[in-house]
Structure 1
Amino acid sequence: MGFMRTLLNDIDVVFEQDPAARNRIEVIFTYSGVHAIWGHRIAHRLWKWKLRFLARLLSQLVRFFTGIEIHPGATIGQRVFIDHGMGVVIGETCEIGNNVTIFQGVTLGGTGKEKGKRHPTVKDGALIASGAKVLGSFTIGEHARIGAGSVVLKEVPPHSTVVGIPGRIVAQHGKKVASAHALDHHALPDPVADTMREVERELERLREECTQLRSALAVRANDAGKAEKGRGDI
């Protein structure tokens, strides 16, 4: 596919994914996700031509202007849509397929200082929601969906929905596999709130035990007082 056709595809996918897009002029001049993708396509070519310094320099300039950091070594397919994009980080050995959607704050990174393939592979049609962290060298399957704020550390099968920290599969092929929240950005598991509820339940149990203990002590004291009075009457 020609380079210009690729750039036009990068514009056209915006109209499919973002109802706020009105015309091509607006997309070309105001969409930072498109700017970042275009800058990366040029930087990636420089990287493949072994012009590594120029590639890194261009990628850093794009990062400065868009807030989106894509390593020039990363491979990005056709019709990839980065929505808003601020804070998105895509690592050097990351491979992204076609028709992938990435929201702001997403990290496609590694887990350490290992060499070789150390970043995820994202297959066609996947969606990675706001703030998700996908860390390590494994595959996100076709049309998989990663919930907002999730931390994914292992492979995700195709057509699966993953939420939580650490990420867990809650649906496959549209059917629930566990009792959990669906992919609602406002209704994901909250481990802090869950812990606070556990603490509140434990406090309530301790209060009940203290109340029972006070009652038992009061009964014993009352019985002891009656016994003492009885001995005094004798």
Structure 2
Amino acid sequence: MFERLREEINCVFERDPAARNVFEVVTTYPGFHAILWHRLSHRLWNLGARWPARAISTLSRWLTGIEIHPAAQLGRRFFIDHGMGVVIGETAEIGDDCTLYHGVTLGGTSWEKGKRHPTLGNNVVVGAGAKVLGPIYIGSGARIGSNSVVVKNVPENATIVGVPGHVARPKEQRREEAKRRAMAKRIGFDAYGAPQDTPDPIERAIHGLIEHIQRLDDRIEQMAAEIQRLGGKLPEEQLPDLEACELSASGNEEESAQQVDKGKSAAAK
């Protein structure tokens, strides 16, 4: 018992830089208090003492602002930071080393009995105000962004954002989309002004061309890298990056205007 208590205290220091000492955590952290109350009420619930368990849960809610049903299953080293407004439903299951912030709801979407609340794997972090609803599974290592609404299963180590919650695009995918956007701007077409499933066949064709050009550009870069790896020589002159072209577009326009002005003055002489 004392080992588990030590774990609960140590996990506060690991995840809250504001924690200064053990006395402060034990006496002033509502999340820590709510978890201790729940451990007691959960044990009574499993022993069949349902009313005392619910009474302790209600008292804990009054004192901490955190509502945890006595039947909910909490893993080890569970941490609720701040905690006001947190609601954890009856059939919710939370793995080890999970963290919840204030305003989080692990709720249900049905009035039917049975499993109706989410299951969280290990090392899951749920941001402030997020709502995780229904008998869904949140994979280990997942991160739920603040104020997101999650109603579908989440893969491991994924980051979920938005309403409804969706997997945030990896950095590599965002970089590829930025390159395609820069190329579209370079050729004078606002390819991202409309969705790619637009009914206009011309816009669809241009979208396809831009995608094709981007893939060709990537393939050429791969071929050049392979030639250099095999000892081949390539011309020293290289094509400018799309980002550089985009940044220097305004400068090129000014230079072109200056050249036109010079040509006009030379013709006048």
Above 0.5 in TM-score? yes
What is the TM-score of this pair, normalised by structure 1? 0.73
In the other structure, the counterpart of 1:154 is: 152
In the other structure, the counterpart of 1:20 is: 18
Give the distance between the partners of 1:176 and 1:109, measured in 2 at CA: 31
Q: CA deviation at 1:178?
A: 5.9
Q: Does 1:71 align with 2:76?
A: no
- Counterpart secondary structure, 1:162: strand
Q: Return 5+ residue gaps in structure 2 as ranges.
A: 176-269
Give the distance between the partners of 2:72 and 2:164, measured in 1 at CA: 25
Higher relative contact order (CA 8 A, sep 6+): 1
Q: CA RMSD in A?
A: 1.4
In the other structure, the counterpart of 1:56 is: 54
Q: Supply the AA of the counterpart residue of 2:80.
A: I
In the other structure, the counterpart of 1:132 is: 130
Question: Which structure features the higher share of strand residues?
Answer: 1
Give the distance between the partners of 1:32 and 1:7, measured in 2 at CA: 15
Q: Return 5+ residue gaps in structure 1 as ranges.
A: 181-234
Q: CA deviation at 1:179?
A: 4.7
Give the distance between the partners of 1:115 and 1:6, measured in 2 at CA: 32
Question: Which structure features the higher share of helix residues?
Answer: 2
Q: CA deviation at 1:58?
A: 0.1
Give the distance between the partners of 2:137 and 2:173, measured in 1 at CA: 22
Give the distance between the partners of 1:178 and 1:134, measured in 2 at CA: 26
Task: Give the number of equivalent residue pairs.
Answer: 175
Q: Does 1:33 align with 2:35?
A: no
Q: CA deviation at 1:8?
A: 1.4
Q: Does 1:98 align with 2:92?
A: no
- List structure 1 runs of 4+ shifted beyond 2 angstroms: 175-180
Q: CA deviation at 1:5?
A: 1.4
Q: Where do residues 82-93 of structure 1 align in structure 2 (5 Å cutoff)?
A: 82-93=80-91
Q: CA deviation at 1:4?
A: 2.2
**Residue 36 and residue 177 in structure 1: after superposition, are their counterparts in 2 closer, same or farther (change >3 A)?**
farther
What is the TM-score of this pair, normalised by structure 2? 0.63
Q: Percent identity?
A: 55
- Counterpart secondary structure, 2:168: strand
- Counterpart secondary structure, 1:46: helix
